[in-house]
Structure 1
Amino acid sequence: MAQRLLLRRFLASVISRKPPEGQWAPFVSRALQPPQCSLDGLTVTPSPVRTVYTTTVCRTTFNIQDGPDFQDRVVNSETPVVVDFHAQWCGPCKILGPRLEKMVAKQHGKVVMAKVDIDDHTDLAIEYEVSAVPTVLAIKNGDVVDKFVGIKDEDQLEAFLKKLIG
Structure 2
Amino acid sequence: MAQRLLLRRFLASIISRKSSRGRWTPLTSGALQNLQCSPGGLAATPSPTQTIHTTRVCTTTFNIQDGPDFQDRVVNSDTPVVVDFHAQWCGPCKILGPRLEKMVAKQHGKVVMAKVDIDDHTDLALEYEVSAVPTVLAIKNGDVVDKFVGIKDEDQLEAFLKKLIG
- Residues 92-103 of structure 1: matches in 2 within 5 Å? 92-103=92-103
Cα offset, 1:55, TM superposition: 1.7
- 1:122 deviation in Å? 0.0
Secondary structure of the 2:139 match is strand
Deviations 1:94-132 (A, max 9, x none): 000000000000000000000000000000000000000
Name the SS of the counterpart of 1:159 in structure 2: helix
Which residue number in structure 1 is paired with residue 5 of structure 2?
A: none
TM-score, normalised on structure 1?
Answer: 0.70
Whole-Å separation in 2 of the counterparts to 1:90 and 1:161: 23
Q: Matches of 2:97 and 2:134 in 1, distance apart?
A: 9
Please say which structure displays the higher CA radius of gyration.
1
Amino acid at match of 2:46: T
Instruction: Return the alpha-carbon distance in structure 1 between the equivalents of residues 98 and 34 of structure 2.
Output: 29
Gaps in structure 2 of 5+ consecutive residues:
1-31, 37-43
1:45 alignment partner AA: P
- Map 1:1-166 to 2 at 5 A: 39=34, 44-45=45-46, 55=54, 57=56, 58-166=58-166
Q: Secondary structure at the match of 2:120?
A: coil
Distance 2:133 2:151 in 1: 9
User: Counterpart of 1:49?
Assistant: none
1:45 to partner: Cα distance: 3.1
Contact 2:136/2:149, CA 8 A, preserved across alignment: yes
Q: What displacement does 1:59 show?
A: 2.1
3-state SS of 2:156 partner: helix
TM-score, normalised to structure 2, is: 0.70
Q: Which runs of 4+ in 1 moved over 6 A?
A: none
Judged with a 3 Å threshold, the aligned counterparts in structure 2 of structure 1 residues 56 and 153 are, in CA distance, closer, same or farther, namely closer
Whole-Å Cα distance in 2 between the matches of residues 113 and 56 of structure 1?
A: 16
Q: Return the structure number with greater strand share.
A: 2
How many aligned residue pairs are there? Answer: 126
C-alpha RMSD of matched pairs (Å): 2.5
Amino acid at match of 1:55: T
Kept in 1, the 8 Å contact 2:35–2:45? The answer is no
Q: What are the ranges of 5 or more consecutive residues in structure 1 without an aligned counterpart? A: 1-36, 47-52
